[in-house]
């Protein structure tokens, strides 16, 4: 059985285990892709740009071909403070059973420009009016001199006459103007009056028919309107048509995926899937489509560091409908989940993006401060005493705690903005929980492994609570669990819990989750000992006052601190001598933690240092460390080994170009470690580190600051 076949089989086994328990746990994701070669602002810092729009159109075409039978819809993307209008958004709307939902002409971005021709908006409006009237509802064209679009008003229901004097019928298009602070809402549709705008849009020199749809509350009505648009386009033999307007309604029978811009990336909000096997196949198709557009799920820096795409890789859990969400089917699930994530930092940090901690993009409740943490303990106790937990009580009780320190719920590790939130019109009460502590994964198999892990944890907690209260980790949260070794051990504890619950993941899935070559920096072997360098987690502080930056799309953090994990292992047959090996870093002998894992005894410790001086950041008088000086020595050996860890190429000067691929990046990381033998008896006595610089798990070299 090939590697992919074995992985696919393991995913199907996971689906069967969840299904056998009778649970319906749906899962979605938000993959983000970038052009890792480009230095244009749209691929480094900004959300919008012409190149990004072109790549997105290519993605829409490719995904539309991979998932045929759907309609391409142009709706509204997000709008952040300081932005004049919403960002663009392309969406694909289709039946889940692959039955054709749309047989009409596609959006012009999926048509050969040579095949396009002009459309007459008056003719389109007149024909669409007839098609809508054929279903027996009061409908009619409505226009006024000087208006840029033909208008059609339709009222569903008991045959009430249309009021043509309603001034709201003059409202402009929702595209190209700001979203109201109260949110996107169609007040006419809320009263049973649907307004259509028919115009044209210039595409490749042609006036293409554009039909802007109102908001619809149910799928059946929306699909019938799409059928009328489709028939209109067919009767007029239009080669293409743009369908725009409000986002469409969804239920378990249809799916809705969008492609939108975000700073430095293109984000795909996937339609959720009811099984991990379906999730895997959908991701494989999306990753292939992105690659064909020259887009990457990661970045490679000149010195070989593997970084995030620039966006996240959030995963969402819900159900086939809001009412059937697992968080409502078992109301105790969400409080149990909060406790379980608190007790297992691996779920917060092991798979996380670069921006973590209290100033990051996925803040844990215990990173908000002691007062909030004590109140959360009380709240969970009160929820335990409540015998009737409703969706509203869950949201009102836990919403205030699942935020970052400034109260922003969108930056919470467990984000319940769309669980049962009455303040987000149209999409706040979807029964969804978003897990934000995940970076964009390099492969569809790895993101599917995470999906299986989360679904298994959710299924386990639907059956029983985890044992024990919230843990106050103290400094261990950002020190011990900054090191990959301890995060991996914690993940093994999660695996053990799942095994005990009958929801264990196969070895094939576990191996995909545990292996993360991008953390590996370098490894060297000497006569009796090996030293491994890995990139550890770091928790970058906010620069300035959080509230003053809250209205921007991003916040300024000081990212100039890096953390290394050093791991020592004995060579085969040399275990008896292992206890005597020491590493001296910048003159300080490191107090390693002695541990064991499946391979035997080892020593582990962390080093923190400043690797560059930021133009705006903390500690303006603190210089950067271009090279870290370490010495590996043993009292029973004459020979010691000097190790120099360089943040840039040891020979100096620029790299010729970015790394070509992950293997090339690995080679660059390996060459940054320079070693040579020396005599132990020439070593000076060790220095004493300032007490403030040491924790049981790491030494902060910034306190030494000898350069």
Q: What is the pLDDT of residue 424?
A: 78
Q: What is the pLDDT of residue 145?
A: 53
Among 465, 486, 514, which residue terminates a domain? 514
Average per-residue pLDDT for the chain:
91
Q: Taking a C-beta distance cutoff of 8 angstroms, is the pair 498, 348 a contact?
A: no
Q: What is the pLDDT of residue 548?
A: 55
How is residue 322 written in tokens?
């809001």
The residues that bridge with 606 in the sheet, in sequence order, are 565, 698
Cβ burial of 354 (10 Å; 0-12, 13-18, 19+) is middle
Same domain, 306 and 191: no
Q: How confident is the model at residue 683 (pLDDT cuts 50, 70, 90)?
A: confident
H-type alpha helices, 183-251: 187-190, 219-235
> How confident is the model over 56-79, as a mean pLDDT?
93
Which residues of 119-227 form beta strands (DSSP E)? 139-142, 150-155, 193-203, 206-213
How far is Cα of residue 637 from the mean position of the Cα atoms in its chain? 49
Model confidence pLDDT, tens digit, residues 356-395 = 999 999 999 999 988 999 999 999 999 999 989 999 999 9
> How confident is the model over 512-528, as a mean pLDDT?
93
Residue 459 falls within a domain, yes or no?
Answer: yes
| Helix, strand, coil percentages for the chain (3-state, nearest 5) | 35, 25, 45
CA distances from 22 to 17, 473, 636 (A): 9, 35, 62
Same domain, 75 and 89: yes
Q: Taking a C-beta distance cutoff of 8 angstroms, is the pair 589, 529 a contact?
A: no
Same domain, 315 and 365: yes
Burial 571-589 (b: 16+ CB within 10 A, else e): eeeeeebbeebbbbbbbbb
Residue 370 falls within a domain, yes or no?
Answer: yes
Entry pTM: 0.93
User: What is the Cα–Cα distance from 237 to 117, expressed in whole angstroms?
Assistant: 10
Same domain, 557 and 490: no
Among 212, 240, 260, which residue terminates a domain? 260
Same domain, 502 and 471: yes
How is residue 658 written in tokens?
């970015």
Model confidence pLDDT, tens digit, residues 634-660 = 988 999 999 999 999 999 999 999 999
Per cent of the chain over pLDDT 70 is: 94
Q: Taking a C-beta distance cutoff of 8 angstroms, is the pair 414, 431 a contact?
A: no
How far is Cα of residue 610 from the mean position of the Cα atoms in its chain? 27
Spatial CA neighbour of 198 closest among 259, 258, 154, 137: 154
Q: What is the pLDDT of residue 147?
A: 61
The residues that bridge with 254 in the sheet, in sequence order, are 95
Model confidence pLDDT, tens digit, residues 8-44 = 999 999 999 999 999 999 999 999 999 999 999 999 9
Q: Taking a C-beta distance cutoff of 8 angstroms, is the pair 623, 577 a contact?
A: no
Same domain, 448 and 341: yes
> How confident is the model over 409-428, as a mean pLDDT?
88
Model confidence pLDDT, tens digit, residues 344-364 = 999 999 999 888 999 999 999
Q: Taking a C-beta distance cutoff of 8 angstroms, is the pair 225, 243 a contact?
A: no
Residue 35 falls within a domain, yes or no?
Answer: no
Range of the domain at 683: 518-703
User: What is the Cα–Cα distance from 427 to 417, expressed in whole angstroms?
Assistant: 9
> How confident is the model over 406-411, as a mean pLDDT?
90
Same domain, 441 and 532: no
Q: What is the pLDDT of residue 82?
A: 82
Same domain, 167 and 309: no
Q: What is the pLDDT of residue 546?
A: 47
Among 514, 529, 546, which residue terminates a domain? 514
Same domain, 429 and 458: yes
Same domain, 466 and 522: no
Residue 105 falls within a domain, yes or no?
Answer: yes
Q: How confident is the model at residue 423 (pLDDT cuts 50, 70, 90)?
A: confident
Model confidence pLDDT, tens digit, residues 457-476 = 999 999 988 778 899 999 99
What domain count does the chain have? Answer: 3
Residue 305 falls within a domain, yes or no?
Answer: yes
pLDDT over 70 at 157, yes or no: no
Spatial CA neighbour of 90 closest among 310, 242, 265, 290: 242
Same domain, 528 and 654: yes
Same domain, 224 and 288: no
> How confident is the model over 309-333, as a mean pLDDT?
94
Residue 361 falls within a domain, yes or no?
Answer: yes
Q: What is the pLDDT of residue 699?
A: 98
How is residue 549 written in tokens?
């930056």
> How confident is the model over 265-269, as a mean pLDDT?
96
Q: What is the pLDDT of residue 170?
A: 85
> How confident is the model over 407-412, as a mean pLDDT?
91
Model confidence pLDDT, tens digit, residues 573-586 = 888 889 999 999 99
Q: How confident is the model at residue 183 (pLDDT cuts 50, 70, 90)?
A: confident
């Amino acid at each position: 059985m090939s590697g992919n076949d074995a992985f696919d089989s393991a995913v199907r086994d996971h689906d069967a285990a969840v299904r056998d328990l009778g649970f319906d746990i749906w899962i979605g994701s938000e993959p983000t892709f970038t052009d890792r070669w480009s230095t244009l602002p749209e691929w480094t810092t900004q959300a919008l740009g012409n190149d990004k729009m072109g790549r997105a159109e290519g993605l829409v075409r490719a995904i539309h071909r991979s998932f045929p039978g759907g309609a391409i819809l142009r709706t509204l993307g997000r709008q952040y403070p300081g932005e004049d209008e919403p960002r663009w958004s392309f969406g694909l709307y289709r039946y889940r059973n692959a039955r054709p939902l749309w047989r009409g002409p596609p959006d012009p971005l999926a048509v050969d420009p040579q095949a396009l021709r002009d459309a007459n908006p008056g003719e389109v409006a007149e024909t669409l009016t007839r098609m809508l009237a054929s279903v027996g509802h009061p409908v009619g064209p409505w226009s006024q001199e000087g208006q840029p679009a033909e208008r059609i008003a339709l009222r569903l229901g008991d045959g009430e006459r249309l009021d043509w004097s309603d001034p709201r019928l003059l409202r402009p298009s929702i595209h190209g103007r700001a979203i109201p602070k109260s949110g996107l809402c169609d007040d006419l549709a809320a009263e049973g009056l649907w307004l259509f705008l028919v115009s044209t849009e210039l595409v490749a020199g042609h006036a293409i028919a554009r039909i802007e749809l109102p908001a619809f509350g149910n799928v059946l009505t929306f699909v019938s309107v799409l059928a009328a648009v489709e028939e209109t386009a067919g009767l007029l033999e239009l080669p293409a048509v743009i369908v725009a307007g409000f986002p469409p309604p969804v239920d378990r029978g249809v799916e809705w995926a969008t492609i939108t811009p975000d700073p430095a990336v293109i984000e795909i909000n996937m339609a959720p899937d009811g099984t991990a096997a379906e999730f895997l196949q959908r991701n494989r198709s999306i990753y292939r489509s992105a690659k064909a557009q020259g887009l990457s799920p990661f970045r490679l820096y000149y010195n070989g560091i593997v970084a995030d795409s620039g966006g996240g890789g959030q995963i969402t859990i819900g159900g086939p409908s809001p009412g059937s969400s697992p968080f409502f089917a078992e109301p105790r699930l969400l409080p149990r989940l909060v406790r379980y994530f608190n007790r297992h930092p691996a779920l917060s940090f092991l798979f996380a993006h670069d921006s973590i901690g209290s100033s990051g993009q996925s803040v844990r409740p215990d990173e908000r401060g002691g007062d909030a943490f004590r109140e959360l303990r009380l709240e969970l106790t009160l929820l335990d005493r409540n015998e009737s937990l409703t969706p509203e009580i869950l949201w009102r009780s836990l919403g205030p705690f699942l935020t970052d320190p400034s109260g922003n719920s969108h930056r919470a590790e467990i984000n319940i903005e769309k669980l049962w939130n009455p303040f987000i019109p149209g999409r706040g009460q979807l029964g969804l929980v978003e897990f934000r502590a995940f970076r964009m994964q390099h492969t569809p198999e790895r993101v599917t492994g995470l999906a299986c892990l989360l679904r298994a944890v959710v299924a386990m907690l639907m059956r029983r609570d985890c044992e024990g209260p919230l843990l106050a980790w103290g400094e261990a949260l950002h020190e011990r669990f900054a090191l990959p070794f301890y995060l991996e051990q914690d993940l093994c504890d999660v695996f053990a819990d799942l095994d005990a619950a009958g929801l264990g993941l196969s070895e094939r899935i576990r191996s995909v989750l545990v292996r993360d070559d991008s953390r590996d920096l370098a490894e060297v072997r000497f006569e009796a000992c090996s030293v491994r360098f890995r990139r550890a987690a770091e928790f970058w502080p906010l620069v300035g006052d959080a509230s003053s930056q809250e209205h921007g799309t991003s916040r300024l953090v000081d990212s100039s601190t890096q953390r290394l994990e050093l791991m020592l292992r004995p060579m085969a047959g040399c275990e008896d001598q292992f206890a005597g090996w020491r590493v001296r870093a910048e003159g300080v002998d490191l107090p390693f933690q002695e541990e064991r894992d499946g391979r035997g005894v080892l020593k582990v410790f962390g080093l923190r240092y400043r690797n560059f001086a930021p133009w705006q950041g903390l500690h303006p008088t603190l210089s950067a460390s271009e090279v870290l000086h370490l010495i590996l020595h043993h009292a029973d050996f004459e020979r010691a080994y000097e190790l120099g860890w360089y943040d840039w190429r040891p020979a100096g000067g620029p790299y010729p170009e970015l790394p070509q691929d992950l293997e090339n990046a690995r080679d660059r990381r390996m060459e940054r470690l320079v070693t040579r033998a020396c005599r132990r008896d020439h070593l000076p006595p060790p220095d004493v580190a300032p007490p403030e610089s040491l924790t049981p798990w790491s030494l902060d070299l910034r306190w030494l600051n000898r350069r």
